[in-house]
């Protein structure tokens, strides 16, 4: 498995099987603002994702989820 | 990194089965309709307006000697809202019409061992890629009319 770092590409791990696991971070909005969450999901299929205007569906393992993009804050909302 | 509201659409709950379902392909047919495929050979129709999500499901046809017919890619054309194509760990590209359910489909045999992706090349042409007897190939172009390769 290869990852691009600021100065070079590095191999960060061997691919031991098609049904591997990979961690990724999700940021979710709540009443207090953005909060980070760390999730681990089973990935292995390239086409288990569908993107649309303002949303995406992705399947990981046995779970299918929808992510709806948070509305963009206006400049005034960001300043207050 | 995904930023937004996350909603669970579906979760397979088949812990007791010998073959646990895994989601392998997802495709948005229109803003209300979602298709997804699953290991070992499932195909599912989701109406996002319905609380229960999945409104129809089926099994892809398997050859007698095959243990699975896992879908790996689902595609469709924007002007054909009721039809979609499926390819996967089987040698054919399958064409479904949702109005007829998942019980019947048309197919185009590619000769490949497995097809991992496909896209619409033009109005009546499909391009698919996969492996043929262990050799990777980049594209196979097939006219959508049944029987043509």
Quote ipTM for the complex: 0.77
pLDDT digits (tens, 9 = 90+) for B77-135: 776 678 899 999 998 999 999 889 898 889 988 888 889 999 888 777 888 998 887 66
pLDDT of residue B30: 85
Comparing CB atoms, the residue among A34, A51, A65 nearest residue B6 is: A65
**Measured CA distances, B89 to B4, B70, B99, B101 (Å):** 34, 5, 25, 21
List the single residue in A with minimal CA-CA distance to B37.
A48
Q: Spell out which residues of chain B touch residue A50, defining contact as CB-CB under 8 Å.
A: 26-28, 34
Contact at CB, A64 and B72, closer than 8 angstroms = no
pLDDT digits (tens, 9 = 90+) for B7-40: 888 888 866 555 678 899 999 988 888 999 998 8
- Check the CA dihedral B75-B78-B80-B82 and report its sign: positive
b/e code A47-80 from CB counts within 10 Å (16+ = b): bbbbeeeebbbbbbbbbbbbbeeeeeeeeeeeee
pLDDT digits (tens, 9 = 90+) for A3-46: 777 777 766 655 444 444 444 444 555 555 555 444 445 555 77
Q: Spell out which residues of chain A touch residue B21, defining contact as CB-CB under 8 Å.
A: 62
List the single residue in B with minimal CA-CA distance to A23.
B1
DSSP A77: H
Contact at CB, A70 and B31, closer than 8 angstroms = no
Cβ pair B107, B115 in contact under 8 A: no
Q: Spell out which residues of chain A touch residue B12, defining contact as CB-CB under 8 Å.
A: 62-63
pTM for the model: 0.70
**Measured CA distances, B76 to A41, A76, B63, B125, B138 (Å):** 27, 42, 24, 11, 20
Test the B interface: residue of A50, A64, A68, A70 with most B CBs within 10 Å = A64
């Amino acid at each position: 498995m290869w990852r691009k770092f600021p100065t070079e590409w590095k191999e960060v791990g061997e691919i031991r099987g098609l049904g591997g696991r990979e961690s990724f971070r999700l940021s979710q909005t709540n009443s207090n603002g953005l909060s980070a969450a760390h999730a681990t999901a089973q990935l292995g299929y390239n086409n288990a994702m569908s993107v649309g205007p303002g949303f995406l569906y992705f399947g990981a393992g046995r779970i299918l989820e929808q992510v709806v993009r948070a509305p963009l804050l206006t400049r005034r909302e960001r300043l207050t | 990194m995904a930023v937004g509201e996350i909603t669970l659409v579906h979760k397979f709950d088949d812990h007791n089965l010998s073959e646990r379902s895994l989601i392998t392909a997802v495709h948005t047919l229109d803003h209300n309709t979602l298709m997804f495929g699953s290991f070992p050979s499932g195909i599912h129709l989701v109406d996002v307006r319905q609380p229960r999500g999945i409104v129809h499901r089926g099994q892809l046809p398997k050859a007698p000697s095959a243990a699975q017919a896992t879908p790996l890619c689902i595609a469709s054309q924007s002007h054909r809202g009721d039809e979609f194509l499926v390819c996967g760990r089987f040698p054919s590209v399958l064409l479904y019409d949702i109005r007829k359910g998942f019980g019947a489909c048309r197919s185009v045999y590619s000769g490949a061992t497995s097809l991992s992706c496909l896209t619409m090349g033009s109005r009546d042409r499909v391009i698919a890629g996969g492996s043929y007897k262990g050799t990777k190939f980049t594209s196979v172009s097939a006219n959508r009319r049944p029987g043509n390769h």
